[in-house]
Amino acid sequence: MRIQYGEIKSTRSTILQSKGVEESSANHIATVITESSTDGVYSHGLNRFTSIIENIEAGIIDVHASPEVVSSFGALEVIEGNLGMGIANASYSMERAITLAKTHGIGCVSLRNTNHWLRGATYGLQAAKAGVIGICFTNTCPNMPAWGALDSRLGNNPMIIAIPNGKRGIVLDMAMSQYSYGKLSDLASKDQKLSHYGGYDTDGNLSTEPSDIFSRGRVLPIGMWKGSGLSLMLDLLATILSGGDSTKGIGEKSSEYGVSQVFIAIDPTKNNTYESVTRSIEETIDYIKNSTTLDEDTTIYYPGEQSEKRREDNLKHGILVSEDIWLEIIKQL
């Protein structure tokens, strides 16, 4: 079914307010989630809304908490998330990084004791819309084995890089697992296979079956040993910069909360003209898109381009929503 942007947003804001979230914060969070679904990232938009409500009800998310800057040195800042709403904390932190970038050319904010930010690209796009580069990453609970291991001791720690490009941005949003858990559960619920290997089955063989991969819990790191290493480095960076919990520490809790995140903003126009930056981006994007493709049905996309297309469609025709998920959500009204 398709539902209009305004209805999705207001429904969610109403539900959040009924759970004690203050009005302006509820509107902001509802906007972020609606935007993710509008961009076609359903797995990290509407489809995750129920989990937020559950976490509020379980007392894992403190709806009355606000982020606080607890330490600062030049262009580096540390924010205490006080276990508040993940989206609110992350938006606030990227806003601080943008402000620092306007002052120092670059800003780096680390955030501790925060909760799931849902779609990481949100904060990259926030920077890009402000005309600056945005880089951010989060750690997660242990959900991916290190290369050579059977048990999960790494997070799949999504990393985002966004570059301003006109009104929105080019944005890469990637978990360190070949498929995000959101994507795996989305495909599992539709009984669809993965296009490529995404992890191991119970016999230790590479598999394209989301349900087999889930049952064994062995997701495949991107680039095998390389994604395993990158995941570890992102966890170390988030932990040592914020003073917050590592993937190990998060794994010792009853569920995934109190994660650590990093937000970096860089202003490319401090040392280069806006025109030269824009020209460079256009040239490279044109070059890549004009590659010789595998066949005539293949299109080369830049990161975030397919979301732009789904966005246009969703704004025009209403946002594509799974009926089950929608019924689940409006039950909360």
Q: Is 172 in the site for a second copy (CB under 8 A)?
A: yes
- Kind of pairing, strands 199-200 and 218-219? antiparallel
Answer for the pair 218, 150: CB distance below 8 angstroms, yes or no. yes
Q: Is 272 in the site for a second copy (CB under 8 A)?
A: yes
In the numeric block, which tokens belong to residue 77? 């800042």
In the numeric block, which tokens belong to residue 43? 């797995």
In the range 10-49, which residues lie near a second copy by CB under 8 A?
Answer: none
The CA-based dihedral angle spanning residues 249, 252, 257, 263, taken in that order and rounded to the nearest 10 degrees = 20
Active-site entry in 28, 44, 64, 196: 44
> Does 317 participate in catalysis according to the annotation?
no
Separation between Cα atoms, residue 263 and residue 97, nearest integer Å: 6
What x-and-dash track marks residues 276-295 binding a second copy by CB under 8 A? xx--xx-xx--xx--xxxx-
**Strand pairing partners for 72?**
77
What x-and-dash track marks residues 52-71 binding a second copy by CB under 8 A? -------------------x
Q: What SS3 class is residue 197?
A: coil
Answer for the pair 218, 200: CB distance below 8 angstroms, yes or no. yes
In the range 199-258, which residues lie near a second copy by CB under 8 A?
Answer: 204, 221-224, 226-227, 229-230, 232-233, 235-237, 239-241, 243, 246-248
What x-and-dash track marks residues 70-109 binding a second copy by CB under 8 A? -xxxxxxxx------------------------xxxxxx-
In angstroms, what is the minimal distance from the CB of 308 to a second copy?
A: 14
Size (the chain), residues: 333
Question: Is the CB of 8 or the CB of 266 nearer to a second copy?
Answer: 266
In the range 140-159, which residues lie near a second copy by CB under 8 A?
Answer: 145-151, 153-154
